[in-house]
Amino acid sequence: MKIGIIGGGAIGLLFSHYLSKKFDVTLLVRRNEQLEEVNRLGVTVNLGGHSDTAYLHTERLSESRMEYDLIIIAVKEYSLDSILSNLVDSDAQIPLFFLQNGIGHIERVKKLPHFSLLAGSVEHGALKENDHSVTHLGIGRTNLALIRGESSSIEELLIQQIENFPFVLQDDYEKMLIKKLFVNVLINPLTSIAGVANGRLPENPHFLHIQHKLFEELQILFPHMKDHIHFQEILDICYSTSANRSSMLKDIEEHRKTEVETILGSLLMKAEKENHFVPIMKTLYELVKGIERESQGG
C-alpha cells in the first residue's frame, strides 16, 4: 500500500517512520530545507535511549500528484485550511485520514468529495527534535474511526502489526474525538500556563481542583459523554505521561502558535451558542492567549 503523509511535524515524522516499516511511504512537506534533509538523512526516531532511522521518499506537497492508496493528514488544525485546497482536487477514491485535535475541523472535512474519510486520535507522545528526527516519548495507540465510507479502505493498517505502533478501529468517531478533547482540555492549557509536566497536575491540589471543575464544565457541554469518560481516566493519563510536557506547553516554550483555538476556542463558541456558563474554560483560554501573545513578542 502506498501512503502519503502530509506534515513534517512531530506526528508526521513519527507516522512516516513507523509506517515505512510495512508500507511504501512518502512524506509530503512544505519546505525545501526539510525535504532535502529527510531525503538525505532519513527519519530518525529516538525511543528509550535507542535510535532507529528509516529512509523514505519525500516530496514537496505543492508538487505532489497525490497518487496514493491512503493519505494521512498530520498537520495541526490551524494549518488545515491550506491543506484542504490540495486535497480537494485529488482522486475522490483515495481515503483521507485526519489526525487533528478537537472536533472543529470535522464539518470542513465533510465537504471534501472523497468517499472515505477517517478521523484519528493519537495517544503517542512525540517531540520533534529537528527536521528529520523525533523522540517517541510515550508508546500508545492510534484510534481511528470512519466519518464516512468503508472500513476496507484501512484494513491493511489494522492487519499489519507494527512494533510499538498499534492501530485500533473505533465505532463512533465523535465519541472518540470528544474523549481525546476531554484529555486535551484538562491537561494542555493548565500545563502551558503553569509550565509543568503532566504528572504535576494531579499531584498539586490546586491544579487538581481546576481540572475537576473543567471536567464538570465539559460534562455540561457534552452530557451524552457522562457514561463514556470518567475523571479518573484523565488522572491515569496524567500519571502515565507524568514526565511529558504537553504540546501546548512546548509551543509556548518554542514561541509558536498554540492549538488553544482548536481545543478551547471551539468549545467557548459552543457554550455561547447553547447559553452555557463555563468560567474556568473562559479564564484558561484568555490566559493561554495572553501567554501566547507575550511569548511571540506581542
Do residue 54 and residue 144 come from a single domain? yes
Containing domain of residue 196, as a range? 176-295
Same domain? For 103 and 164 the reply is yes
What is the β-pairing status of strands 43-47 and 2-6? Answer: unpaired
Query: End of a domain among 129, 151, 171?
Result: 171
Torsion sign (Cα): 273, 79, 113, 24: negative
Within 13 Å of residue 84, how many CA atoms lie on the same side as its CB?
18
Say yes or no: 142 and 278 in one domain: no
Tell me the Cα Rg of the chain: 19
The answer to whether residues 35 and 63 belong to one domain is yes
Q: Which amino acid is at 213?
A: K
Q: Report the predicted TM-score, pTM, of the whole model to 2 decimal places.
A: 0.93
The residue out of 121, 152, 171 marking a domain boundary is 171
Write out the E strands in 83-203.
Answer: 96-98, 117-122, 125-130, 133-138, 142-148, 167-169
Strands 2-6 and 24-29: parallel
Task: Check whether residue 28 and residue 124 sit in a common domain.
Answer: yes
Residues 24, 68 within the same domain: yes
**pLDDT tens for the chain, residues 1 to 298:** 999 999 999 999 999 999 999 999 999 999 999 999 999 999 999 999 999 999 999 999 999 999 999 999 999 999 999 899 889 989 999 999 999 998 889 999 999 999 999 999 999 989 999 999 999 988 889 999 999 998 887 899 999 889 999 999 999 999 999 999 999 999 999 999 999 999 999 999 999 999 999 999 999 999 999 999 999 999 999 998 888 889 999 999 999 999 999 999 999 999 999 999 999 999 999 999 999 999 877 6
CATH number of the domain to which 103 belongs: 3.40.50.720
Residue 164, phi-psi category: left (phi > 0), alpha (psi -120 to 50), beta (remainder)? left
CATH number at residue 264: 1.10.1040.10
Task: Point out the domain boundary residue: 171, 187, 218.
Answer: 171
